[in-house]
Structure 1
Amino acid sequence: MSIKRSPISYNSARFNKSAAKLSQCPEDIGAEVAFAGRSNAGKSSAINTLTNNKKLARTSKTPGRTQLINFFDLNIEHTRIVDLPGYGFAKVPLEMKLHWQKHLDNYLQKRECLRGVVLVMDIRHPMKEFDQMMTQWCKSTGMPLHVLLTKADKLKKGPAQNTLLKLKKELTDELGDNVSLQIFSALKRQGIDQLSMRIDSWLLEGMEDEFDDQPEE
């Protein structure tokens, strides 16, 4: 069976710019997918695994160091993946956390080219306060949501599947067809194809005719 190759190469991802607020973001055209998650959920590792570039998204032993919205260009013009600030254990003043929250909310509410959100959760500690906030935001705006349950290598297959099925029922009851979920492990490179296919579906929506002649394999 021939499979049409995606025109998007995530290995092509290159840093564009960082923004502290909406007005500093790249021009609001094209399509982008944002990664969100608590600061210890493995968000940067997931982005680096997807793009096969260990240095693309900043990783740190000090959670919460990513305080800016970071944009990465892909090989198709005006398509991007976005690394949003992490929350949770960041040891910063409350005033700074409120600043992050204000500008993150502005980005989520007003960014016209945002096509979907990948919400990264540690599979051992899902649906914390930040995760619930993001889920509710996606529900209220109708934004497509993909839940990435990371660090699956820390659990045996049975418990990992149980967590996936429980969350799938819970979130599908709340968000319907607007949510999808998967298990992921950056360490074992598990779930990369499923993640890339989901992001493809968002970034390439409406572009199908442009790639009808794409070679098959």
Structure 2
Amino acid sequence: MSWMQRGKRLERQTIMLAAGMPEGEPEGDAVARISGWDIDQAIVALARAVFAEGGRLVAESDTPLTLLLAMIAAEYQTQRFAEGSGHADADLTPSVRVHRTRTRSDREDEDEALLERYSLVDFVDGADDDPFAENEISTPSPRDAPIALVCIGGGADVIEQAHWFASKESYRPIFVLETTGGAAARLAVVACCRFRGHEDKIVTKETEIGHGETEVHEGVQ
């Protein structure tokens, strides 16, 4: 028996992730206490859940986030590659796809080259003003199209990605971890207003990762 059990509920499925440190005015003591560690733990929990079920994550270019996702992907990658190495049709695509901007430092280029060498991250070039323009995610194949967006913390960039996702993938759900604050908390409160025209498709979800039970709240009827 493998040391790490893997499922197949998300096999060949992609989840889009929009995450970052919460920005804006704190909305209560609980939000005020949110730290970088809390955000990282939420991201790690999501990544483990997705990778354990054979899924992939796609995100906008952000070096700390990319490295964190790559680290978690490595835990599952070795087993996935070993399981598929004996099959000619094995799918050995990296578990993380990052849409990067054209403007990058030499250090970022070096990090990206290392991650690609070990097949941990698949980097896709995007436009500076729209990291998801003119590439697979704008006109995705059924296999590459994200089946959902998950928002964790963040600021204006996360809200922009949520708007983009709602306009491109209006029939797919958006999940927000409200307790991570920032954009996620604001999206949970004003989802119906901000996504007018897509409100019948929006679902918000609050998940206490490692802090008790999970509560699910429908954003709209």
- Tell me whether the two structures share a fold, i.e. TM-score over 0.5: no
- TM-score, normalised by the number of residues in structure 2: 0.43
Q: TM-score, normalised by structure 1?
A: 0.44
